Amino acid sequence: MPHPLDSFFAPASIALIGASRDHEKIPGRLLAMLRKNEYPGKIYPVNPNYAEIDGLACYKSIADVGAPVDLAVIIIPARAVLPALEQCASAGVKNAVIISSGFAEEGGDSAAMQDAIAALAKRTGIRISGPNAEGFFSQVQRVAATFSPAVDVKPDVVPLIATTRRIGIVAQSGGIGFAYYHRAKALGIAVSYVVSAGNESDLGAGEFLDYMVQDSSTDVILLFIEGIRDVGKFLAAARRAAEAKKPVIVTKVGRSSAGMRAAASHTASMAGWSAAYDAVFARFGFIVSNDLDEALTIAAVLASNPLPKGDRVAVVTVSGGAGIWGADAVALRGLQVPELSESIQAGIATLMPSYGSARNPIDVTAQGVTSGGLQKSVDLLTVSDEVDAILVVLSLSSDVRMPFKEPELKPVLAAQHKPVVFYSYTLPSEFARRELAKSGVVVLSGLTHVGVAMRQLVDYAGFRLPKLADETRLPARDLSAHLTSPVLSEADSKALLRAAGIALPDEVLAKDKSGLDEAIARTGFPLVMKIQSPDIAHKSEVGGVRVNITTKGEVFLAFETLLNNARQHRPEADIQGVLVGPMAKRGVEIIVGTMTDETFGPMVMVGLGGITTELFRDVVYRPAPVSAEEARAMLAALKAAPLLNGFRGAVKTDVAALAQLIADISVLAARHASEIAEIELNPVLVHAEGQGVTIVDALVAGRG
C-alpha cells in the first residue's frame, strides 16, 4: 500500500528554491549533496539571479518550471518563505522542506509566520517539514535533501556496511539526527532514512515515525525527541510499531527541567515532567536510552541479530580477565551467565589448551584463536539449548590478522540461531571492522553499552502489547454534582468515587458531637477518625487522624482533639467535620493515583504507599485507561513487587483485586478527563489473596 509520504521520501523531482553556485554556503551545499549522492530524479534550481547553476537550467520561480515537482527544498530569507510556499501550492508541488530559520524559535511576528505556514498546509494539502529543519536523507533512494556534512561522499572511500537490516532515524534536532547517522555509518550499520523534523509546522515526529513503521526497508527505528506535538498520530504510530514488533529506540531530552506545577497530590508531585513520556514508551515497548553511543549500540545489536529466547549468556574470550569483565557487564544487568553442562564443557575443552577454561566465561586463550577453538566454540554454542545469547570478547587491534575466517563465521551468523555480539577491548582497527563486516558483524567497543544492549534485547523479546482497557465494567455516570470545589475533602472525594461505582468502606461524616452516636452504631469498634477539610490534603501532618479507637469515651475525646488540632495548625481551613470509619484489617500499603499530563492527558500511577511514598518514590505510570492485565504489569515493575507476592514467608496478597481497582480508577480518570485533574488513593491496603483491597484515604482534585 502506498503511503502519503512516499513522494516526500522518494521524490521523482526536486526544486531547490534559493539555489546557489556557492558550495561553501548552505543553498549551494544542498545541490552539491544531491548530486554527490547520485540522486536519480530531476533537479530544478530556482533563483531569479541565475540562468543556470552547475550545468542545470535555473528558473526565476517555481511557476516557471512547468513540470511536476514532488519536493521543494526552500532556503531563502524567512519573510520570503510564505509567498514561495503559496507559489508551490499553486504549482501543484506535493511536499516542501523549509531549511530557513527565523520562525517560532524567535517568537513574536516570526511565530505568526510559522502559524501562517501551518494554515497554508492545512488549506492547500501541501505537506511541509520545518521550518528550521536540516532536511532528510533517503539512503535507499539516494535523496540527500540536506546540507549536513554527514551525507558528504568522499572519492574512493568505500562505505562500511555490516548489517543487511537498516535503521531509520527521526530526530527533532537535525544536528543530533545526522550525528546518529554519522556514528551508525562508522559502525557499519545500514541506514534507511534520516529525517530532521525542525519546528513541525505541519509534519511532525509522529507522522515520520508512522512512515518508518510501515516502511519495508526500515527494521529498527531511532527516535530523538524534545516534545511531541502531533500526539494522536504519534500514539497511533507507536501502537503500530508494537503490533508489527518493529523495535523503536527513543531518547527523550529535557528530563532535567523542573517543569513542576503546584500539585495537590503525591501522584502529581512525584511525576516529574517526563514521567508521562516514560509511561507511553513503556506501554508500547519502546527501548529508552539517554546516551547517543548506547542508543547506537542497541541499534547495532538489533540490526545484526535475532531476538533471544531467554536471558542466559555465554561469554567467549581470548583473555581470561576480559572474559570475566564481559561476564560482569551482562550479570550486572540481571542476565544469567550459567555454568555449562559437563558434556558441553568437555566438547569445548578439546578446542583449547589445558590452561583455558570451558566453564563460562569460556577462555579459549590466545592459542585458541590460531587453533580454531574460538570459532568452533561459537559454532557449538549457537546450536546449544543451554544459552540464549553469546558475547564474544576479544582484541581486534591488528591491521593484518583476523581471529575468524569469513567462510566459517558468515554461515553461522547468517543462520540467526541466537544473538552473537562482538566486543573488542582494544580499539578495533579499520581492517578488523571491514573484514568482520563481510560476515555481518558490527564490532562494538563500549562494554557497559554492550551489557545494556543485551539486557534491552532480552526485555524487548519478552514485551507483549497489553490488552486495551475494558471501559464497560465501570458504569457511566454524571459526577458533576460531586465536583463542588477544586480540591475535595476525603469525605467528598469518597462520595464521588462511590457514585462512580468504586467500592469503599461505609463511613459517616460527623459534623458535630450529636452525630457521633449514629456513627459509632454504623461503624462499630475498632474505628478510625479523621478531620475533614478540602484545605487539608495531608491530615497526619496537622494531627488530624486517630486510629484504633475502641470505646465511646475515646470517640468523643478524639472528636474534640481533632478539631482543636486542625484549628491550631490551619485556622483558615474550612472544617466540614470528622469522618468516622471502620479500622481496616492489615495489608500492604499501596498508592493508586491519576494525574493529567499536558501532552498525553490522564495518567494512572501505582506505587509503594503510606507516609513513605515520597521518600522511596517507587512508582510506575501508564497512560489511562489501562486494562487489569496492564495494571498487573505495572505492579510487577515496582521494586516493592515482592511485598505483594509473599516476601520472606508473608502471605500472598490479592493482586487481582488491586489490578482491577487500578484499571477502574484509570477508566474513571480517562472518562472524566475534562472534569477531574487528579485522583489519589493513599493508602490502599491490599489484603491476603481472595480478601480484596481497602481504600483507606482518597483525594480528588477537579480541573476548575
Residue-wise pLDDT for 417-474, tens only, equals 999 999 999 999 999 999 999 999 999 999 999 999 999 999 999 999 999 999 999 9
Domain 6-298: which CATH number of 3.40.50.880, 3.40.190.10, 3.30.1370.160, 3.40.50.720: 3.40.50.720
Instruction: Give bridge partners of residue 250 from the DSSP assignment.
Output: 223, 288
- Could you give the angle at the alpha carbon of 262 between the alpha carbons of 261 and 265, nearest 5°? 110
Cell numbers of 652, please? Answer: 500472598
- Determine the 3-state secondary structure of 524 from DSSP: coil
Q: What residue type is 293 in one-letter code?
A: D
Contacts with 297 (C-beta within 8 Å, 6 or more apart), sequence order: 444, 446, 449, 450, 452, 453
- The yes-or-no verdict on residue 648 having pLDDT over 90 is no
Alpha-carbon 368 to chain mean position: 42
Strands (E) across 79-175 are located at: 95-98, 127-129, 136-138, 143-145, 166-171
Q: What does residue 585 show for φ and ψ, rounded to 5 degrees?
A: -70, 165
In 352-419, beta strands by DSSP E: 362-363, 389-394
* Dihedral sign for Cα atoms in the order 441, 446, 450, 456: negative
Using pLDDT thresholds of 50, 70 and 90, give the confidence band for residue 44. Answer: very high
The residue behind cell 563481510 is 438
Q: What is the pLDDT of residue 256?
A: 62
Domain span(s) for CATH 3.40.50.720 in the chain: 6-298
What is the rounded average pLDDT of the residues 158-182?
Answer: 95
Angstrom distances, CA of residue 401 to CA of 322, 413, 521, 651: 20, 20, 89, 61
Task: Give the burial class of 492: count Cβ atoms within 10 A of its Cβ; 0-12 exposed, 13-18 middle, 19 or more buried.
Answer: buried
Lowest mean pLDDT among 125-129, 212-216, 606-610: 606-610
**Helix crossing, 292-304 with 447-462: angle to 10°?**
60
Percent of the chain clearing pLDDT 90 (strictly above): 86
- Quick: pLDDT tens for 471-490: 999 999 999 999 988 999 99
Determine the angle formed by the axes of helices 342-349 and 373-382, rounding to 10 degrees: 150
Query: At 193, phi and psi to the nearest 5?
Result: -140, 150
Determine the Cα–Cα distance for residues 231 and 83; give it in Å rounded to an integer. Answer: 29
Q: pLDDT tens digits, residue range 240-281?
A: 999 999 999 999 988 764 334 434 444 444 455 588 999 999
**Neighbour-count burial for 349-377, b at 16+ CB within 10 Å, e otherwise:** bebbeeebbbebbbbbbeebbeeebbbbb
pLDDT range class, residue 42, cuts 50, 70, 90: very high
Q: Report yes or no: 72 and 97 within 8 Å, Cβ to Cβ.
A: yes
CA distance 222 to 318: 33
Of 490, 508, 421, 522, the residue nearest 698 (C-alpha): 490
CATH 1.10.10.10 assigned to 306-462: no
Q: Is the dihedral of CA 207, 210, 215, 220 positive or negative?
A: positive
For the chain, the distance separating the N- and C-terminal CA atoms, rounded to the nearest angstrom, is 46
Torsion of CA 362, 363, 364, 369, to 10 degrees: 110
Interior angle at CA 40, CA 24 and CA 86, nearest 5: 70
What number of CA atoms fall less than 13 Å from residue 68's CA on the CB side? 6
Average pLDDT over residues 409-424: 97
- Provide the H-helix boundaries in 415-480: 430-437, 447-462
Output DSSP code: residue 41.
S
3-state class of 55 per DSSP?
Answer: coil
pTM of the model: 0.93
pLDDT at 258: 39
Q: What is the pLDDT of residue 267?
A: 46
CATH 3.30.1490.20 occupies which residues in the chain? 506-582
| Residues pairing with 145 in the sheet | 136
* pLDDT tens-digit map of 305-337: 999 999 999 999 999 999 999 999 999 999 999
Q: Where in the chain is the domain with CATH 3.30.470.20?
A: 588-702
User: Would you state the cell numbers that stand for residue 119, as one nine-digit string?
Assistant: 494554515
Q: What is the DSSP letter of 270?
A: T
Rounded to whole angstroms, the Cα distance separating 210 from 205 reads 8
In the chain, list all ranges with CATH 3.40.50.261: 306-462
Contact 219, 194 (CB under 8 A): no
Contact assessment for residue 677 and residue 596, using Cβ atoms and an 8 Å cutoff: yes
Cβ 693 vs Cβ 653: under 8 Å: no
DSSP 8-state symbol, 18:
T
For the domain made up of 588-702, the CATH class stated in words is alpha beta
Spatial separation of the C-alpha atoms in residues 550 and 695, rounded to whole Å: 21
- 506-582 CATH choice from 3.40.1360.10, 1.10.10.10, 3.30.70.1290, 3.30.1490.20: 3.30.1490.20
For residue 33, the tally of other CB atoms under 10 A from its CB is 24
